[in-house]
């Protein structure tokens, strides 16, 4: 056995259990230091000093250490799982068991030293003055949050790789550094109130949960490539794009099926896409203070708790003809599949057949999830000759729990009707083209 393997101090996890009461003095294993050494006693009447072997357990709760005599005080030592890094040492007084978890090699060395000490052998390794022993300093916790509210706080040496939450707000930031797009542990990124006009596409590779971009200028270039990143698409739950000067709904957003909250307040949006019905987890949709003329009837297919459409420009068809609007819708929705596939998609929809991303081609899934649905239930892809765009006044939106809108305006909803016979499905359509 190499001498270097002998240990008198180990960093470990320890749970203390009282054998009499079976109560755990520590509810679970806590990071601890276990030290071993001799305590020099005062000279006895014969002028001899006695050396008393002691174990000391330092925990975050007992920083000064709990002391245990070793000589004639060991109740048991269970070493069956020492190769897994687990050992139990029981003392007679106090009647406590220490359940120790540690690196197996260190633990083995520590036990060998303990054995030597119990046999009364004075080894070099036990020269530790146990009275002065201290806990092994533990590495400080990795930094997981950073907030920057002033330019002077921006880190010159870069960001800790361990960050989970990063807030850089109100510092006139004009460019998002590539480095931030490589912080793989980030789940929350708040860049509110800066001067960003573009977001690097690499941001789409992060699995963010929350992204706040309000009060920037992303409507200047309308560069939405970063929204096409698969990881971001599949992870984002909260997105705030309010006050960015947007004049259209960013098309890739309809694929964000995990979104729960979407804030688009204070922009210049005139329409929301029919494809928004793909956002089945959406619970809060904020589109107040925009220029919305209507809402897509597809909103009713969602399960929205809170819809805020206060301060918009709802109106009946006006200026822009229904046919022009139909073309606009056709341009924003998923590409219509070829005729046979269209039949297939309609059958899946009509018979409510179950499907997953593995059983259907992506183009069909996009069509099934995003295409406008006629009141009769048929999937449309605007621009079929028989399809007509209708605008209904004051739709009921029965699935929406809380709706905020200015009372002086009516709300209008657009729907696509696939044929003349389908009018009978609604009594709400007020205007025919
Ligand atoms: Zn129809």
Cα separation, 216 vs 52, in Å, equals 69
Cα separation, 373 vs 383, in Å, equals 13
Structure tokens at 177: 């550094």
Residues 6+ positions from 37 with CB-CB distance below 8 Å: 8, 53, 54, 56, 126, 127, 128, 129, 130, 133
Cα separation, 240 vs 194, in Å, equals 13
Residues 6+ positions from 343 with CB-CB distance below 8 Å: none
pLDDT surpassing 50 at residue 3:
no
The CA–CA distances, whole Å, from 131 to 37, 60, 66, 413 equal 8, 19, 12, 80
Q: What is the pLDDT of residues 268-318, one digit of tens each?
A: 999 999 999 999 999 999 999 999 999 998 888 899 999 999 999 888 876
Ligand 1 centre to CA of 386 (Å) is: 10
Cα separation, 150 vs 397, in Å, equals 45
Pick the CATH number of 3-132 from 2.30.29.30, 3.40.50.300, 3.30.200.20, 3.40.50.980: 2.30.29.30
How many degrees, rounded to 5, is the angle at CA 258 between CA 255 and CA 264?
A: 70
Ligand 1 centre to CA of 254 (Å) is: 23
Q: What are phi and psi of 237, to 5 degrees?
A: -110, -30
User: For the chain, how far is it from start to end, CA to CA, in angstroms?
Assistant: 94
| Overall average pLDDT of the 239-259 stretch | 96
pLDDT on residue 318: 64
Ligand 1 centre to CA of 414 (Å) is: 14
Tokens 């806990």 — which residue? 135
Q: What is the pLDDT of residues 165-182, one digit of tens each?
A: 999 999 999 999 999 999
Using pLDDT thresholds of 50, 70 and 90, give the confidence band for residue 366.
Answer: confident
Cα separation, 12 vs 157, in Å, equals 33
Is 244 in contact with 265 (CB distance < 8 Å)? Answer: no
Q: Which fold has domain 145-325?
A: 3.80.10
pLDDT on residue 226: 97
pLDDT on residue 227: 97
| Overall average pLDDT of the 18-30 stretch | 78
Ligand 1 centre to CA of 331 (Å) is: 21
Structure tokens at 213: 């971009």
**With b meaning 16 or more CB within 10 Å and e meaning fewer, what string describes 33-69?**
bbbbbbbeeeeeeeeeeebebbbbbbbeebeebbebe
**Would you state the torsion angle of the CA atoms of residues 223, 228, 229, 235, taken in this order, to the nearest 10 degrees?**
110
Ligand 1 centre to CA of 390 (Å) is: 12
Q: Provide the 8-state DSSP code for 179.
A: G
Cα separation, 153 vs 161, in Å, equals 17
pLDDT on residue 184: 94
Q: What is the pLDDT of residues 97-118, one digit of tens each?
A: 999 999 888 898 888 888 887 8
The domain locations on the chain are 3-132, 145-325, 332-393+411-431
The CA–CA distances, whole Å, from 289 to 87, 316, 397 equal 65, 18, 20
Ligand 1 centre to CA of 362 (Å) is: 24
Is 213 in contact with 200 (CB distance < 8 Å)? Answer: no
Using pLDDT thresholds of 50, 70 and 90, give the confidence band for residue 6.
Answer: very low
Domains 3-132 and 145-325 share a fold: no
Ligand 1 centre to CA of 252 (Å) is: 27
């Amino acid at each position: 056995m190499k001498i270097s393997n002998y240990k008198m101090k180990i960093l470990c996890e320890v749970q203390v259990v009282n054998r009499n009461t079976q109560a755990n003095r520590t509810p679970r294993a806590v990071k601890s230091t276990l030290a071993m050494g001799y305590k020099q006693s005062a000279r006895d009447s014969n002028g001899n000093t006695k050396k008393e072997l002691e174990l000391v357990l330092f925990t975050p709760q007992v920083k000064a250490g709990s002391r245990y005599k070793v000589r004639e005080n060991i109740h048991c030592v269970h070493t069956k799982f020492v190769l897994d890094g687990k050992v139990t040492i029981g003392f007679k007084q106090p009647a406590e068991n220490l359940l120790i978890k540690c690196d197996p090699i260190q633990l083995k060395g520590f036990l060998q030293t303990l054995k030597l000490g119990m046999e009364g052998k004075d080894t070099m390794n036990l020269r530790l003055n146990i009275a002065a022993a201290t806990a092994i300093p533990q590495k400080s916790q990795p930094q997981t949050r950073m907030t920057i509210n002033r330019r002077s706080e921006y880190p010159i040496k870069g960001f800790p790789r361990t960050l989970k939450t990063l807030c850089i707000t109100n510092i006139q930031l004009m460019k998002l550094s590539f480095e931030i797009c490589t912080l793989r542990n980030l789940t929350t990124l708040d860049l509110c109130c800066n001067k960003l006009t573009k977001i690097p596409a690499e941001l789409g590779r992060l699995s963010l949960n929350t992204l706040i971009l309000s009060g920037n200028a992303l409507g200047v270039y309308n560069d939405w490539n970063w929204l096409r990143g698969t990881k971001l698409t599949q992870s984002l739950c909260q997105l705030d794009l309010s006050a960015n000067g947007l004049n259209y709904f960013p098309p890739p957003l309809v694929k964000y099926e995990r979104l729960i909250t979407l804030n688009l307040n204070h922009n210049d949006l005139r329409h929301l896409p029919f494809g928004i019905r793909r956002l089945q987890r959406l619970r809060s949709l904020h589109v107040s203070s925009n220029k919305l003329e209507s809402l897509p009837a597809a909103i009713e297919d969602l399960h929205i708790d809170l819809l805020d459409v206060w301060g918009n420009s709802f109106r009946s068809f006006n200026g822009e003809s229904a046919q022009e609007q139909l073309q606009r819708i056709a341009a924003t929705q998923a590409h219509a599949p070829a005729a046979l596939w269209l039949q297939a998609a309609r059958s899946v929809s009509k018979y409510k057949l179950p499907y997953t991303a593995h059983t259907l081609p992506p183009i069909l899934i996009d069509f099934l999830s995003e295409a406008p649905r006629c009141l009769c239930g048929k999937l449309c892809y605007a621009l079929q000759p028989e399809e007509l765009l209708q605008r209904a006044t004051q739709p009921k939106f029965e699935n929406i729990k809380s709706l905020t809108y200015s009372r002086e305006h009516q709300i209008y909803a657009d729907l696509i009707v696939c044929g003349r016979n389908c009018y009978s499905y609604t009594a709400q359509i007020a205007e025919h083209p």
